[in-house]
Amino acid sequence: MPDTKRADMIVHEQEPYNAEPPRSALLDDLVTPVETFYSRNHGPVPQLDAGSWRLVVDGLVREPLSLSLDDLRTAFPERGVTATLQCAGARRADLLAVRDIPGEAPWGPGATSTARWSGVSLADVLARSGPATGAAHVGLEAPDRSPDLDQEVGYGGSIPLAKALSPEVLLAWAMNGQPLTPLHGAPVRVVVPGWIGARSVKWVQRVHVSAETSTNYYQDKAYRLLPVEADPTELVAGAGFALGPVALNCDLLSPPDGARVVAGTTTLRGYAYAGDDRSVVRVDVSTDGGRTWRQAALQQDDHGPWAWCHWRLDVALSAGRTEVVVRAWDSTGALQPRSPQDVWNPKGYVNNSWARAGLTVL
């Protein structure tokens, strides 16, 4: 286990390291401590030397750049953003219960965490380089390679130029006020607030401006929502559609599914999150399997538009079995889909169905 993580992480894979914190740990604070923050890696963690690290900006630009960490620190204003990262595979465990998804880990709700990131805006760096006519997408490339893939290039993906030019997208070197750890992308990672975690490329070395989306495996073949009947063992470039902005989602973090609680007042707590330009406006809680609903209190503490919220509701429970159901609404009036059956897909992404937990009340 990397020494920066808490001892009770739920480890899906030791090498490469893939782990999420236990549910209750996410409730300690709206800003997740680095030792608690989930960790998602497709290959071995590269150990890059900050002194010799360079960021190349090239492609459809008027002036290609090669910037050191010192260049970034001195030539551009430092910016900070509190942003939630959520893996597109978060809550996949409930999709696996519907139908098997070979080769994909049973991530729970903990593949969602929030940090205070600091660095410079990608937009400021792109402004210096000057996107040329026809520029429409920004590729983000890293050196790490998955041992399962036979490919020359490392991890990567792209975001539309319009998102890349939004000030919240950072080239970040610090997380919660500390220099990034190697596990989280040192010396510099991209943070794309409101978009699936996969686009927040760690160990970034190249920003490639293009007319097209990236042809990297993780843009063109993985992190795509495939039609239900697609064969996930034969991934076809461009099949389905690429995931981008994070879907509206929520989960119950305490008490967990299967818990025994004492009759009387119990506090139900969890998180809710809506990506990109949407925000969570309401969280409904039912303690009778969805027949009746009450609204939870939302806590966001002015962390800004890119951070999740925590929710809580005191409920009176009497002895017996109770099915808790939780569902969130966003600022467009969208409601989460009802069940994992409705959202099942061959790679097991974006399970944003209602949260459900069975409690035994003693």
Ligand X SMILES: Nc1nc2c(c(=O)[nH]1)N[C@H]1C(S)=C(S)[C@@H](COP(=O)(O)O)O[C@H]1N2
Residues near Mo ion, by CB under 5 A: 40, 87, 197-198
Structure tokens at 285: 């809680």
Please answer whether residues 311 and 269 qualify as being in contact, where contact means their C-beta atoms are separated by less than 8 angstroms: yes
Pick from 9, 21, 34, 38 the residue near ligand X by CB under 6 A: 38
CA-wise closest residue to 39 among 73, 6, 74: 6
186 binds ligand X per the rule CB under 6 A: no
Is the Cβ of residue 39 or residue 249 nearer to ligand X in the bound state? 39
Is the Cβ of residue 57 or residue 190 nearer to ligand X in the bound state? 190
Is the Cβ of residue 148 or residue 288 nearer to ligand X in the bound state? 148
Give the SS3 label for residue 73: helix
CA-wise closest residue to 334 among 276, 256, 253, 271: 276
Other beta carbons within 10 angstroms of residue 162's beta carbon come to: 10
Give the SS3 label for residue 199: helix
222 binds ligand X per the rule CB under 6 A: no
184 binds ligand X per the rule CB under 6 A: yes
Q: Which stretch binds ligand X (CB under 6 A): 93-101, 124-132, 193-201, 277-285?
A: 193-201
- Give least dist CB 218 to Mo ion, A: 9
- Give least dist CB 45 to ligand X, A: 9
200 binds ligand X per the rule CB under 6 A: yes
Pick from 37, 306, 311, 354 the residue near ligand X by CB under 6 A: 37
Q: Which stretch binds ligand X (CB under 6 A): 37-45, 160-168, 297-305, 352-360?
A: 37-45
5 binds ligand X per the rule CB under 6 A: no
Q: Which residue is nearest to ligand X (CB)?
A: 197
Say how many residues make up the chain. 362
Q: Find tokens 């210096």 and name the residue.
A: 128
Residues in region 158-177 near ligand X by CB under 6 A: none
Please answer whether residues 112 and 192 qualify as being in contact, where contact means their C-beta atoms are separated by less than 8 angstroms: no
40 binds ligand X per the rule CB under 6 A: yes
User: 3-state SS of the chain: helix, strand, coil percent to 5?
Assistant: 10, 35, 55
Residues in region 120-149 near ligand X by CB under 6 A: 142, 144
Partner whose binding site includes residue 202, from ligand X, Mo ion, none (CB under 5 to 8 Å by kind): ligand X
DSSP run (H or E) holding 253: strand 249-254
155 binds ligand X per the rule CB under 6 A: yes
User: Distance (Å, rounded) from C-alpha 150 to C-alpha 217?
Assistant: 11
Q: Which stretch binds ligand X (CB under 6 A): 33-41, 100-108, 240-248, 298-306?
A: 33-41
Helices in the chain by DSSP H: which ranges? 69-75, 93-96, 122-129, 161-164, 217-220, 340-343
Pick from 117, 203, 273, 308 the residue near ligand X by CB under 6 A: 203
User: Distance (Å, rounded) from C-alpha 278 to C-alpha 331?
Assistant: 6
306 binds ligand X per the rule CB under 6 A: no
Is the Cβ of residue 89 or residue 131 nearer to Mo ion in the bound state? 89
**What does residue 199 show for φ and ψ, rounded to 5 degrees?**
-85, -10
Pick from 131, 197, 240, 340 the residue near ligand X by CB under 6 A: 197
Helices in 244-301 by DSSP H: which ranges? none
Residues in region 84-113 near ligand X by CB under 6 A: 85, 87
Please answer whether residues 222 and 146 qualify as being in contact, where contact means their C-beta atoms are separated by less than 8 angstroms: no
Pick from 126, 198, 253, 280 the residue near ligand X by CB under 6 A: 198
Residues that bind ligand X (CB under 6 A): 37-42, 85, 87, 142, 144, 155, 184, 197-198, 200-203
